[in-house]
Structure 1
Amino acid sequence: MSQCSSVWSFNPFSGQAWTGWRRAALQVCVAGVVGVTACGTSWAATLEGQHFDDTVVLGQQKLQLNGLGLRGVAWVKAFVAGLYVTTPSQDAGALLAESGPRRLRLKIMLQAPSSELTKSLLRRVKRHETPEAQARLAERLDQFAAQLDGLGELMPGDVVDMDYLPAKGLVLSRNGKVAGKPVAGDDLYRAVLQIFVGEHAIDPRMKQGLLGAPV
């Protein structure tokens, strides 16, 4: 397995170990504050050559880019993540509590099987959620995991969206093509989003970038 594949396989989500790499090599780059200026004018953002529009329309509602963060180690870059919300905020609790539509967009920068994302996501949900919450999520989490596995080999340039639509649930898509039926429940989406911006997020600096906060 190549170094690039190893980096992706061991940790696009999980903070457990970029096996073979020293901890000191971990390097997550983040965008600065992205959002609305005092006069109400917004702008688009680019991080590591990955462009994100300042707004998107989801479920007939306009969402604004809250922030960007790069997940990578040393010179190897896995993806840039962007978070879109109805009301930008630097408060993770407020974003997690929001009931409206949201979009977590990953712009892929490294070839890897989507099953590696699935494994990491399941590990993180198990670590973050209580046994009671895990029991409530189990069937739906399995459904979402199967959809994520079904994306197959991810390639540089691919765009993976994890959307939340209140009337439908979590909708997964790759390059604009929906992968399976929506999975109901804002609790499921919150469990996924917590991996990025929750109290025990995968990486504090990436969390700050997605929150649009200075680092």
Structure 2
Amino acid sequence: MHKAMRLRRFVRQAGMAAMLLGLSVGAGLPACAQSAAEVRMPSLEGQRFEATTMLGDRTLRLNGLGLRGVAWVKAFVAGLYVAAPSKDAGQLLAMPGPKRIRLKIMLSAPSHELTKSLTGRIEDHEPPEVLARLSERLTRLAGLIDSVGDLKPGDTLDLDFIPDKGVHLRVNDKAVGAAVAGDDLYRAVLKIFVGEHPVDRRMREGLLRGGY
């Protein structure tokens, strides 16, 4: 009788231990789940991007990812976030509401190289009347980018647009300077990435994926 009672007590204790072990394993699941989530994050050239992000009071979705590079030189991976993903460049350019262009830097370079690429492309392809309207604000935005100094692998640069506030520059999640007004300015910047005369056509194709 006593042996039977001890056996039942052992079984109960063993069962409790198994439950506790299960809980302790379960307590470790978030880390495993997080790793799995990281694996599932959209990525290109090893650069991971969140599928969604908050900007202002809106949730934006990742429209696509594109690599900016020449031959074997990889400068950055760009991600475009919009409220309603689309494969139509015209629709994206005309879309109201907040937007984000996120650049994940892959090589060391002075930020003024990015500035030259940005301003040069706009000056080459925007009509004179548009450039006249943008000139002063484009100079201010270029100055903000120049002020960043040296960019290095692992840096993240965001060009954000928030209606009624303007174009915001953020580097590694920190704001740089004040916003520069104008959805027309942001549209000119976005054209560099997805317009008819992009700085990199392969990058454009990736950014126009239409969502994840």
TM-score range normalised by the length of the shorter chain: 0.7 to 0.9
The amino acid that maps onto 1:68 is L
User: Any conservation in 1 of the 2:112–2:149 contact (CA below 8 Å)?
Assistant: yes
Equivalent residue number for residue 31 of structure 2: none
Q: What is the letter of the counterpart of residue 174 of structure 1?
A: V
Partners of 1:120 and 1:203 lie apart in 2 by 11
Corresponding residue of 1:60: 57
Q: Which amino acid aligns with 2:58?
A: Q
**Counterparts of 1:181 and 1:203, CA distance in 2:** 29
Residue of structure 1 equivalent to 2:178:
181
The TM-score with structure 1 as length reference comes to 0.78
1:198 maps to what in 2? 195
Whole-Å Cα distance in 1 between the matches of residues 134 and 109 of structure 2? 26
Provide the alpha-carbon RMSD of the alignment.
1.0
Distance of 2:128 and 2:156 partners within structure 1: 32
Q: Percent identical across equivalent pairs?
A: 62
Deviations for 1:103-127, whole angstroms, at most 9, x for unmatched residues?
0000000000001111111110111
Runs of 4+ in 1 over 3 A off after TM superposition: none
Match of 1:128 among 125, 129, 153: 125
Aligned length: 171
Mapping 1:86-125, distance limit 5 Å: 86-125=83-122
For 1:162, the equivalent position in structure 2 comes to 159
How do 1:3-152 and structure 2 match up within 5 A? 44-152=41-149
Give unmatched runs, 5+ long, in structure 2.
1-39
Give the TM-score of the pair, scaled to structure 2. Answer: 0.79
Alpha-carbon separation, structure 1, partners of 2:203 and 2:77: 10
Find the residue that maps to 2:169 and give its secondary structure: strand
Shift of 1:98: 0.8
Partners of 2:62 and 2:86 in 1: CA distance? 10
* Bigger radius of gyration among the two: 2
Contact kept, 8 Å, 2:76 with 2:105, in 1: the verdict is yes
Q: Which runs of 5+ in 1 are unaligned?
A: 1-42
